[in-house]
Amino acid sequence: MPLWMMEDEDFHRGLQRRVTVNFDCTLSTSRIVMQLNNTIRVTTRNFLRRRREASKKFHDNLVVILTQVSLFVMAYAADTINTFRIDDIVDENRRTKRLKRNVASVFGFKSWEENMLLQH
């Protein structure tokens, strides 16, 4: 299960609902663990399916916007999409830098930025 999914509020609500409905205290411990594992798998699968469907619907709406609307709406949609893409790129760069710093600190290496500062 991806880490970002565990932080999602919809996933938490779905998992809590399924655990509440499916929990049976009369089962043995091993059966409860197996049932919990199955509940998590089903909730994860359904959550990812809903996300894919929402993404597909969003993409289909974008296609309709870009093919059937005025130039103003097309320009606005393009600006919105580019803003989201820029945010995604910035987030990815932050994650990459954080990962490089963590790896460097674990192995005792200095990051590229620290080496540049030491040279000047």
Same domain, 1 and 13: yes
Q: How many domains does the chain have?
A: 2
Contact in structure between 1 and 46 (CB atoms under 8 Å): no
Looking at per-residue pLDDT, the higher value among 91 and 113 belongs to 91
Q: Where are the alpha helices (DSSP H) in 2-120?
A: 3-6, 9-22, 29-68, 71-107, 112-119
90/52 same-domain check: no
pTM equals 0.48
pLDDT tens-digit series, residues 55-87 = 888 888 877 766 776 777 777 777 777 766 777
Q: Which residues contact 32 (CB under 8 A, 6 or more apart)?
A: 23, 24
Q: 79 and 52 share a domain?
A: no
Question: Do both 42 and 95 map to the same domain?
Answer: no
Residues 24 and 73 in one domain: no
- Do 115 and 74 share a structural domain? yes
Host domain of residue 28: 1-67
| Total count of residues recorded for the chain | 120
Which residue would you say has higher pLDDT here, 5 or 39? 39
Q: Which residue has the higher pLDDT, 74 or 112?
A: 74
Q: Which range has highest mean pLDDT (3-7, 29-33, 64-68)?
A: 29-33
> What is the pLDDT, as a whole number, of residue 93?
77
